[in-house]
Copies of this chain bind each other. A is one copy, B any other.
Amino acid sequence: MKISVLYGSTRDYGNTEQLTERVFDGIDVNKIYLNQYFFKDIIDQRHDPEGFDEVDDDYDDIISSIIDSDILVFATPLYWYGMTGVMKRFIDRFSQTARDEKFPDFKERLKEMQVYVIIVGGDSPRKKALPCVQQFGYICDFFGMEFKDALIGEARKPGTIQKDAMALANADNWNRHFKNL
């Protein structure tokens, strides 16, 4: 059972990371801090006769690290009512990977994965993060990934996720769930 956690934050040990750490307390997971990698915007060349140009950056390393996962966790602060730009840039590249000979089984592998989403926002996220959750749902539908659940926390200032008792309690539920897998 391999669990990969993709962090979209741009701050170290922010509220999203704290909540996610609690979810995976005592569980061995493959953590990817997306902001520590250099990877470029996709250039949409899906319709170019020659297809996508090779891109020289760290992106393939991330894919190699997660492609044998059973579970993908997208952990992102809510920036402007969506996932962070860093995480979106990463996901945008999937369009290229799905056509990349270096990862011939990319789509086949994703189809086997379960997806969990963790979002922390400061402005009524239990209402206003829902479009972001829906977006992840559609992404899962596209690849045939099983969207399992979303955990939403509310916090603005650093560390204040520790005051969202319901989010913490639900995180503990997730922890028990993942420990029992």
Which A residues contact B (CB, under 8 angstroms)? 9-11, 14, 35, 41-45, 47, 77, 79-86, 88-92, 94-95, 123-124, 126-128, 130-135, 137-139, 142, 147-150, 157-158, 165-166, 169-170, 173-174, 176-177
Contact = CB atoms under 8 A, between A and B. Distances in A.
* Copies of this chain in its oligomeric complex: 4
A128 to B, nearest CB: 5
Given A44-B9, A169-B173, A148 B134 contact: no
B47 A157 contact: yes
The residue in A130, A142, A176 that gathers the most chain B C-beta atoms within 10 A of its C-beta is: A130
A2 to B, nearest CB: 21
A85 B41 contact: yes
A142 B123 contact: yes
A43 B95 CA distance: 26
Given A47-B158, A147-B127, A177-B166, A92 B85 contact: yes
